[in-house]
Amino acid sequence: MTTLLENSNSYNNTINRTIYILWLGDEEINEKRRKSIDNLPKNTILITKTNLDKYILPEYPLHAAYEYLSTVHKSDYFRCYLMYHYGGGYSDVKFTTIDWERAFDKMEQNNNIWMMGVKTHYGHTYTGVELWDESTKQNILDNINSLFCMGYFICRPKTPIVSEWYEELNKRLDLYLPELKNNPAKYTRECFDINFGVAFDRPTWEGPNKSIHTKYPLSWNILLSQVLYPLEVKYINNIDISTMITLV
């Protein structure tokens, strides 16, 4: 059986200059976030539940676990899906001052850059329950000043880094699918490591003054930073954080 990583040996160097933003829940986009969207370049596409099917390739359907995920985890999954199959840019729905055109230009000029993003902040890396062993944690810590965050990046499709990201993500969803079927998410930010919500005075699923523990099996970071940060270290010579500068 051919793996995604084996297929990545012939990845396409073409740069997709589309920036994707995701709003996959039922909530209305508030005025602040709408202004953030309006601030993004014209080559930005907003993907919602309404037009999601347009970007799903027939030969690569969504993972069977997708329907059971929280809205946040659906976004974690689908940004990887987009980057693997299409490449391009991804942005959280927040105001930034990124010069996206400059970033795309630099990537286009250097085939050795597979992913490029905004430099991470130390605290973001260790938020929530992590599954890394001590060696992996130390490698991330040693390289923290060279890693990009999960919210703003651009990517070439089907390179080794995004292929391994997509493959590991699907393996994790395979593993948790039986539990997810029995305990699907009910809330937008649901995760089992409630301390994430409490720490920021933003309870994860039940709202203020409630402490009922969810049976939803996924931690906050399990589908995104737990997977991608170690791969950034592994492929550190193929990522760039010097170009996508933001003041926000």
The predicted pLDDT at position 219 comes to 86
CB 19 within 8 A of CB 40: yes
The predicted pLDDT at position 199 comes to 37
Instruction: Report the alpha-carbon distance of residue 35 to residue 93 in Å, rounded.
Output: 9
The predicted pLDDT at position 79 comes to 98
The model's confidence at residue 186, banded by pLDDT at 50, 70 and 90, is confident
The predicted pLDDT at position 61 comes to 97
The predicted pLDDT at position 242 comes to 87
Six token digits for residue 209: 């003054």
Query: How many residues comprise the chain?
Result: 248
CB 99 within 8 A of CB 226: no
Buried b (16+ CB within 10 A) or exposed e, 58-75: eeeebbebbebbbbbbbb
Residue of higher predicted confidence among 222 and 124 = 222
Q: Identify the CA nearest to 221 among candidates 131, 93, 102.
A: 131
Handedness of CA 145, 173, 88, 231 (dihedral sign): positive
| Cβ count within 10 A of residue 88 | 21
| Helical segments of the chain, H only | 4-7, 31-39, 71-85, 100-109, 122-125, 134-142, 160-182, 195-199, 225-234
The predicted pLDDT at position 176 comes to 97
Instruction: Report the alpha-carbon distance of residue 23 to residue 29 in Å, rounded.
Output: 8
The predicted pLDDT at position 173 comes to 98
| Domain chopping of the chain, boundaries | 4-240
The string of pLDDT tens digits covering residues 145-178 is 999 999 999 999 999 999 999 999 999 999 999 9
Residue 88 has pLDDT above 70, yes or no: yes
CB 70 within 8 A of CB 185: yes
Which of 128-132, 137-141, 222-226 has the largest mean confidence?
222-226
Mean pLDDT for the stretch of residues 133-139: 86
DSSP β-bridge partners for residue 45:
20
Q: What are phi and psi of 65, to 5 degrees?
A: -80, -15
Strand 239-240's sheet: what is its strand order? 44-48, 19-23, 88-91, 148-155, 115-119, 239-240
The pTM assigned to this predicted structure is: 0.88
SS3 93: coil
Instruction: Report the alpha-carbon distance of residue 218 to residue 186 in Å, rounded.
Output: 13
The predicted pLDDT at position 136 comes to 87
Among 4-18, 39-53, 79-93, 152-166, which is the least confidently predicted range?
Answer: 4-18
Q: Per-residue DSSP letters for 189-200?
A: T--S-THHHHHT
Mean pLDDT, all residues of the chain: 85
The string of pLDDT tens digits covering residues 199-215 is 333 444 454 445 556 78
DSSP β-bridge partners for residue 155:
88, 115
Q: For the chain, how are helix, strand and coil distributed in percent, rounded to 5?
A: 40, 10, 45
Calculate what percentage of the chain has a pLDDT beyond 70: 82
Mean pLDDT for the stretch of residues 48-57: 97
CA angle 72, 194, 181 (to 5 degrees): 55
Residue 131 has pLDDT above 50, yes or no: yes
Residue 130 has pLDDT above 80, yes or no: no
Provide Rg for the chain, Cα atoms.
18
The predicted pLDDT at position 203 comes to 43
